[in-house]
Amino acid sequence: MKLDNMPSLQSDAVIIGAGHNSLACAAHLVAKGWSVELFEQAATLGGAVKTAGLTLPGFRHDWAAMNLSPFAGSSFFSNYNKDLIHNGLELIPVAKPFASAFPDGNWLGVSNNAEVTTARIASFSEKDAETWATLTTEFPAKAEHIVRVLGSRMNLSANALMTFNILRKAGISGSLSLARFLMSSPRQWLDEIFVSEQVKATLAAWGMHLDFAPDIAGGAVYPYLEAMSGQAFGMVLGKGGADTIIKAMGRMIEACGGRIECNAPVVRILHSGGRASGVLLADGRRVHAKKAVIANVAPHALARMTGGTGSSSYDTAIARFNHAPGTMMIHLAMQDLPDWKASPELREFAYVHMAPSMDQMARTYQQARAGLLPDEPVIVCGQPTAIDPSRAPSGKHVLWLQVRMVPGDIRGDAGGEITATDWAEAGEAFAERVLGILESYAPGTRRKIQAQRIVTPAELEAENPNLVGGDQICGSHHLTQNFLFRPARGHADGTTPIKNLYHTGAAVWPGAGTGAGPGFLLAQKLAGN
């Protein structure tokens, strides 16, 4: 990546931040003939999508995001897959995307073989297997309507068209059922259709990826989509690391004349008379934009960089923007994969969840919300080298442990063991709790660890200010802060009260994930197509 510090010329668009949404936005704009410059405060591109040698030589770890299925299924990828592949993008399909292990030695995995998955569910409940078969049959039609909602531009005309199309195809009854489903909590939906508590827990674990504990309204859709799409399409990882998408988009931008600069923090957005004109960098340079200043920042940072937009309702909304609880990452260089007590087959899955019940997930979430270190955190164990051995030396492995949920600011310990309330002091002790839980599911795992790197919520935010308190999704997706209300009512399309100033990133509709929806939708809006 070319990262020069020469004074910049005036461009059509200046983009603050070089996460995947910024890069998707810039790639589309430069393809449409815009001149674009991106300024990133960190030393490397990617935001939360980075891959690096965090432990020992030859071991490559995804810093935060690992799952690239949303990117592979995105509109951006559909439009630019040939260009991305030409610029080095390599994706690897995963036939066994996720599983849950349980303390009693049982396990349940979802693979892209519907018969196998249904048979596994039948071992827990024949009735649930019948329900699963029905869900599988109905998925293509139901998914069409859900994707139509989740892919909408969330403005008046787009929503009117979306509603019309859903009514035309699903009818009034079907449309009302869809609306009810979109408002349901994971527990409400799962209790209505499944019997086995372990089947329910396997699906509910996906809600915890996106700030939807079992009892949070609006969360049912995410476990449903992850389960059904995981069976229908599997999962997608990046060859050599998730940063394959970052490197490919960066090359696309530069090949079309765009300019990217790292170690270049923006301290102020320049505007006057209600119109944005450029940015001020920390080194004193002023960079002017003829058409657009695009800020991929957390809402509170947008308020700080503008000094206020002049709209009291908007400024109040972004000041009140609510972040999700934090996450902790633990990166392990391994002699071998875990020997899962439940089944050796678990070594073949990309994700293994340790989230044994909906009640435990709900308790963990409430503890984190209360500022307590959870006594039994939910753990997502990523095993990328089971699918992509290029990420480690021959015969070795990496483990990607994502701990959900944890508090950004510690007020105490629900386990009654850790007295520290600063992550710098509490991080190692809490990581020991996490590794102890992993050991209980896969005895002998500790002996296989060659090196480890703990990344606390405080470090996640320090490295990427958008991850406030370690919130990897840059803001809660609860109903009052989603759809038309993300990040503020009337601004889900990325517009702000300041003309020519636009907001993008996970804080903007359609929100978090590697699908680059916020960036690509904004670029299409600006370029006119």
| Per-residue pLDDT, 351 | 98
Establish if 190 belongs to a structural domain: yes
* pLDDT at res. 391: 98
Residue-level pLDDT at 169: 82
| Cα distances (Å, whole numbers) of residue 64 to 246, 289, 354, 418 | 13, 32, 18, 25
Element spanning 317, H or E: helix 312-319
Answer yes or no: do 245 and 175 share one domain.
no
Q: 514 with 17: CB under 8 angstroms?
A: no
Confidence of residue 3 (pLDDT cuts 50, 70, 90): very low
Residue 8's pLDDT band (cuts 50, 70, 90)? low
401 sits in which H/E element: strand 397-406
Assess whether 253 and 298 both reside in one domain: yes
Query: Are 140 and 187 within one domain?
Result: yes
Q: Are residues 118 and 81 in the same domain?
A: no
pLDDT value for 23: 98
The per-residue pLDDT for range 194-252, each reduced to its tens digit, is: 999 999 999 999 999 999 999 999 999 999 999 999 999 999 999 999 999 999 999 99
Same domain for 129 and 207?
yes
Residues 126 and 228 in one domain: yes
Residue 517, in any domain of the structure: yes
Q: Decide if 461 is inside a domain.
A: no
Q: Is residue 22 domain-resident?
A: yes
Greatest CA separation for the chain: 67
Co-location of 226 and 133 in the same domain: yes
Domain boundary among 187, 213, 233: 233
Query: pLDDT: is 70 or 156 the higher one?
Result: 70
In a domain, 23, yes or no: yes
Tens digit of pLDDT for each residue in 448-463? 999 999 999 999 999 9
CA angle at 84 for the pair 80 and 89, rounded to the nearest 5°: 145
Q: Is the pLDDT of residue 1 over 50?
A: no
Residue 5 has pLDDT above 80, yes or no: no
Average pLDDT of every residue of the chain: 95
User: Are 280 and 218 part of one and the same domain?
Assistant: no
pLDDT in tens, 350-401: 999 999 999 999 999 999 999 999 999 999 999 999 999 999 999 999 999 9
Task: With a cut of 70, say whether residue 435 has pLDDT above it.
Answer: yes
Full residue range of the structural domain in which residue 277 is found: 11-49+65-90+241-321+468-527
What is the rounded CA–CA span in Å between residue 327 and residue 253?
Answer: 31
Task: Please state the pTM of the whole predicted model.
Answer: 0.95
Asked whether the predicted pLDDT for residue 279 surpasses 60, the reply is yes
Which residues lie below 8 Å from residue 29, measured CB to CB, with a gap of 6+? 12, 13, 36, 523, 526, 527
Q: What pLDDT, on the 0 to 100 scale, is given for residue 2?
A: 44
Residue 457 · residue 345 · CB < 8 Å? no
Q: Does 152 have pLDDT greater than 60? A: yes
Query: For residue 252, what pLDDT is reported?
Result: 98
- Domain count for the chain, please give it: 2
Cα 455 to its chain centre, rounded Å, is 17
Q: Which pLDDT belongs to residue 147? A: 87
What angle (nearest 5°) sits at the alpha carbon of residue 474, between those of residues 249 and 519?
35
Give yes or no: residues 124 and 206 share one domain.
yes
Identify whether the C-beta of residue 430 lies closer than 8 Å to the C-beta of residue 328: yes
Confidence at residue 154, expressed as pLDDT on a 0 to 100 scale: 82
Token couple for 444:
């002998």
Q: Is residue 43 part of a domain?
A: yes
- What is the pLDDT averaged over residues 44-51? 97
Please tell me whether residues 133 and 225 are part of one structural domain: yes
- In the prediction, which pLDDT does 6 show? 46
Give the C-alpha separation, 167 to 155, whole Å: 18
* Domain CATH for 268: 3.50.50.60
What pLDDT shows up at residue 4? 44
- Cα separation, 142 vs 492, in Å, equals 24
| % of the chain residues with pLDDT over 70 | 98
Q: What is the mean pLDDT of residues 7-34?
A: 93
pLDDT digits (tens, 9 = 90+) for 100-139: 999 999 999 999 999 999 999 999 999 999 999 999 999 9
415-435 average pLDDT score: 98
Task: Evaluate whether 508 touches 494 at the Cβ level (below 8 Å).
Answer: yes
- Domain end among 202, 233, 264: 233
- Give the bridge partners for 373, in sequence order: 413
Instruction: Give the pLDDT confidence score for residue 9 in this predicted structure.
Output: 65
The edge-to-edge listing of strands for the beta sheet with 397-406 is 107-110, 98-101, 351-354, 378-382, 397-406, 326-334, 449-455
Among 528, 455, 365, 473, residue whose Cα is nearest residue 70: 473
Same domain assignment for residues 496 and 520:
yes
Question: Which of 203, 233, 263 is at the close of a domain?
Answer: 233
Does a structural domain hold residue 442? no
Question: Residue for token digits 């450029």?
Answer: 278
Residues 116, 229 within the same domain:
yes
Confidence of residue 473 (pLDDT cuts 50, 70, 90): very high
The answer to whether the bond into 384 is cis (omega within 30° of 0) is: no
Amino acid 162: pLDDT: 75
pLDDT value, residue 155? 78
Domain for residue 341, yes or no?
Answer: no
Give the pLDDT of residue 355.
98
